[in-house]
């Protein structure tokens, strides 16, 4: 069962920018920006207020914590011991959906043309600031405006992941090396990753592992993991400062249920 805190989906179908033409008989001082985009927000935590004039959304604010959607998902997997020392595995994760409630969903759209006059220094500077901002979410360029009576429920599917793995045991199972392919079916394209790992496990209560991923993260995707008894912690995308683009860490406790069966002595 899944409880959803928030979902923000931005579709940009078109951004067209024209600058004034110069040095010809058809010269013009006009510049323009045409945008066709839709933003769907389902959340109690994230709010999208419009600017003081009510022209367009110009920031993301934090509201109150709460669940805005409910859903479910399953993970399916299988492992097969092909050889005495070689084990293969495969799984598909996050097969499911979340239904975001109508009362917590709003839609904003942009489907207009903005014009700027380069004969006006203020208008020219405004245009230059917009196209040179470098912001990932450029509110001034998009100029998204919340639609009236736009509340409606949404039921998107989850972004599923396929995982294929292989591991080989060495030195009487004291050392295990492996490779793992991960394909995350995101949009607009699938994100692929290939990770190589080595695990030292002298006892069941103590394991140490290291990994390196070769496709994402610009060569900075090292990982470490440690298992001490029932406690484990690790990361396969380590943090290397402000230039780090991917970070992933986990920790947990494993609690066995039931008594361990004792081997019968014949």
SS3 of the chain: CEEECEEEEEEEEEEEEECCCCCCCCCCCEEEEEEEEEEEEEECCEECCECCCCCCECCCEECCCCCCEEEEEEEEEEEEECCCCEEEEEEEEEEEEEEECHHHEEEEEEEEEEEEECCCHHHHHHHHHHHCCCCCCCHHHHCCEECCCCCCCECCECCCEEEEEEEEEECCCCEEEEEEEEEECCCCCCEEEEEEEEEEEEECCEEEEEEEECCCCCCCCEEEEEEECCEEEEEEECCCCCCCCCCEEEEEECCCCCCCCCCCCC
pLDDT for 266 beyond 70: no
Pick the more confident residue, 232 or 244: 232
Residue-level pLDDT at 45: 84
Arithmetic mean of pLDDT, 199-207: 89
Residue pair 105/151 in contact by the 8 Å Cβ criterion: yes
pLDDT for 25 beyond 60: no
pLDDT for 104 beyond 90: no
Least confident of 49-58, 117-126, 208-217: 49-58
Arithmetic mean of pLDDT, 25-29: 61
Residue-level pLDDT at 210: 93
Residue percentage of the chain with pLDDT more than 70: 88
Q: Retrieve residue 195's tokens.
A: 């990770």
Pick the more confident residue, 109 or 243: 109
pLDDT for 218 beyond 90: no
Cα–Cα distance measured from residue 218 to residue 228, given in angstroms and rounded to the nearest whole number = 31
* Average pLDDT across the chain, whole number: 85
């Amino acid at each position: 069962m899944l409880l959803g805190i928030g979902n923000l989906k931005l579709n940009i179908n078109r951004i067209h920018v024209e600058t004034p033409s110069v040095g010809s008989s058809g010269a013009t001082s006009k510049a323009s920006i045409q945008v066709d985009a839709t933003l769907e927000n389902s959340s109690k935590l994230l709010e999208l207020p419009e600017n003081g004039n009510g022209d367009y959304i110009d920031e993301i604010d934090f509201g109150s914590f709460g669940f805005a959607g409910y859903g479910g998902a399953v993970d399916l997997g299988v492992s097969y011991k092909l050889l005495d020392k070689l084990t293969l595995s495969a799984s598909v994760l996050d097969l499911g959906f979340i239904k975001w409630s109508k009362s917590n969903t709003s839609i904003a759209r942009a489907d207009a043309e903005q014009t700027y006059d380069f004969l006006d220094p203020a208008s020219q500077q405004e245009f230059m600031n917009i196209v040179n901002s470098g912001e990932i979410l450029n509110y001034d360029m998009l100029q998204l405006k919340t639609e009236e009576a736009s509340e409606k429920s949404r039921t998107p599917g989850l972004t599923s992941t396929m995982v294929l793995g292989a591991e080989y045991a060495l030195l009487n199972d004291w050392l295990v090396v492996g490779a793992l392919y991960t394909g995350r079916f995101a949009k607009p394209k699938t994100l692929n990753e290939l990770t190589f790992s080595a695990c030292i496990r002298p006892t069941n209560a103590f394991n140490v592992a290291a990994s390196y991923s070769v496709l994402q993260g610009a060569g900075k995707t090292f990982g470490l993991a440690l298992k001490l008894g029932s406690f484990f912690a690790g990361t396969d995308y380590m943090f290397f400062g402000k230039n780090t683009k991917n970070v992933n860490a986990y920790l947990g406790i494993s609690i066995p249920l039931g008594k361990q069966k004792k081997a019968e002595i014949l």
